[in-house]
Every structure is written in C-alpha cells, then in structure tokens.
Amino acid sequence: TQLLEQSPQFLSIQEGENLTVYCNSSSVFSSLQWYRQEPGEGPVLLVTVVTGGEVKKLKRLTFQFGDARKDSSLHITAAQPGDTGLYLCAGPDNTDKLIFGTGTRLQVFP
Amino acid sequence: DTGVSQNPRHKITKRGQNVTFRCDPISEHNRLYWYRQTLGQGPEFLTYFQNEAQLEKSRLLSDRFSAERPKGSFSTLEIQRTEQGDSAMYLCASSDAWHNEQFFGPGTRLTVL
C-alpha cells in the first residue's frame, strides 16, 4: 500500500516568515501533485512534479521532487495571510487514483 | 469551461434518508473520480469512471453507495439509508486519460442528523 506522510501536521507563523512542508513515502511515485484547500472548498491544484530532482516555482512557492521520486517539499518564502490553508500532496497509484497525504494546515498571522 | 461543478453544495438530511449528489466534470475530461473527506483528513478515494465505465470501487464504498455516469458526462453518487458516519465532504474530480492531474469541484458537504 502506498502512503504519503506530511510534516508538520500544523504550522502557525507570522507574516513574512519562511516555511517548508514535507511529503514523504517509502514508495516511488510517477508524479506528485500539490493542492491547497480552503475551508468548505475543494482542493485547488498548485503544481505537478514529474521528474526526479525537478524544481518548480510558483511566485513565492518552490516545489521540489526528490531524486528517487519518493518525496517532495514545498517551500514558501515570505508567507502572507492569503497562504493560509490546508496543503495536500498527492500521487497516483498504479490505477491512477490519487493517494493523498495527511495534510499540513498552515495559519499565517498578519 | 468553468471547471468541475457539484450540486448541491450542502445537504442536511435525517438518518435513514436517501441522498443524491451530482458532479459535472470539465467537458473534455473522460475520467471522473469521487472522493470523501472528513474533517482534518485528506480525501479518500471512493470510485472512478472512464467514460461511462466504472473501473474501480474502494472498499469504503458499502452497498448503500452507488455511483453512475450513464452517458460518460455527468455523474451521480447516491447514498441510501444514510448514517451519521456518512457525514463528510464528498468531492468530485476529473482528468483526461493522458495526464494524472485531477481537478476538483467545490464539494458537497453532507450532514446526517
């Protein structure tokens, strides 16, 4: 069974701080996706990483896929209150359904 | 295209009643997925369709749950004889057959009293 574990589970920081969220597995994934979800809404796709070692940037967000394609990280520079939400990593299993991580709930205070 | 839509957004029902949810995927997507999410957890897979064929069902999907996608476009998820443990957010996602990127709808929040 493929599992994705995220850390930390909760993160509460001040505006302007930097942070990193981790997504780890003992299994290899063909790709990993990162989503952000706000209360009462569905997850919104932020990025997909496909190649081992790949780095993608989305404004202040930097995503990295591990060389062995078993882990990924999300780094946010100078966090803003608008970054508040639940961050989820997800990867497809061998039938393409998504396996989701446990989630990281981020709160950024002004 | 306005993305994946789901109706209703909220449903409150009494235990034992039947409920039905609808999902309209992105029009050019032939794959449609249903997930369930409880508070503080990531979404859990329920079932998925490629066109009108239901290709996989999770063990989470008891015989009270049924999903259809009769014409390969919209899908419905029905829960019969609802139980309080069915209270959750029900999410629908769609993708095309070539990419693993799934795009989610806003979800239907079910509360069973």
Residue B43 to residue A88, Cβ atoms within 8 A: yes
The partner residue sitting opposite B42, judged by closest CB among A45, A96, A103, is A103
B102/B96 Cα distance (integer angstroms): 8
Residues of A in contact with B4 (CB under 8 A): 42
A52/B69 Cα distance (integer angstroms): 36
A22/A84 Cα distance (integer angstroms): 16
The beta-strand segments (E) located in B1-113 are 5-7, 10-13, 19-24, 31-37, 44-50, 53-57, 65-68, 75-79, 88-95, 103-104, 108-112
Give the number of beta-carbon pairs within 8 Å between A and B. 60
Residue B103 bridge partners (DSSP): B94
pLDDT in tens, B53-100: 999 999 878 899 999 999 889 999 999 999 999 999 999 999 987 777
pLDDT range class, residue B1, cuts 50, 70, 90: low
pLDDT in tens, B12-65: 999 999 999 999 999 989 999 999 999 888 999 999 999 999 999 998 788 999
